[in-house]
C-alpha cells in the first residue's frame, strides 16, 4: 500500500532517478514532491527529517534517506 508514502526528489538527482526507475519497472506509484521546484516541499522535508537530502521517503511520519534503503524498504513492504 503506497497511499501513505511520499517520495521527496527532484528530476536531475541521479539517486532519485535510480529510485524512480525501480518504481517504474515494478509498476509502483508513490506520490512525489519536487524539492527544487516546490519550496514548501523542501521546507517540509527539512522539518520532518532535519535535512533537505533527496531521495527521501516519508513513511508513517518518518523520513528514510538513501536510495538503496528506500528500494529495499519498498521491496520488503510494498512488493510483498
Residue located via cell numbers 516546490:
38
Assess whether the previous peptide bond of 55 is cis (omega < 30° from 0): yes
Per-residue pLDDT of the chain (80 residues; tens, 9 = 90+): 777 899 999 999 999 999 999 999 999 999 999 999 999 999 999 999 999 999 999 999 999 999 999 999 999 999 97
Residue 51 phi, psi (nearest 5): -155, 165
Q: How many other CB atoms are there within 10 angstroms of residue 47's CB atom?
A: 9
C-alpha span between 46 and 29 (Å, rounded)? 23
Q: CA-to-CA distance for 29 and 6, rounded, in angstroms?
A: 10
pTM: 0.94
Beta bridge partners of 58: 6, 63
Amino acid at each position: 500500500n503506497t497511499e501513505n508514502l511520499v517520495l521527496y526528489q527532484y528530476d536531475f538527482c541521479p539517486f532519485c532517478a535510480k529510485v524512480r526507475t525501480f518504481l517504474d519497472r515494478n509498476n509502483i506509484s508513490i506520490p512525489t514532491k519536487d524539492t527544487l521546484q516546490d519550496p514548501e516541499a523542501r521546507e517540509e522535508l527539512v522539518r520532518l527529517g532535519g535535512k533537505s537530502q533527496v531521495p527521501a521517503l516519508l513513511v508513517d511520519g518518518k523520513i528514510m534517506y538513501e536510495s538503496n534503503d528506500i528500494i529495499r524498504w519498498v521491496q520488503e513492504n510494498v512488493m510483498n
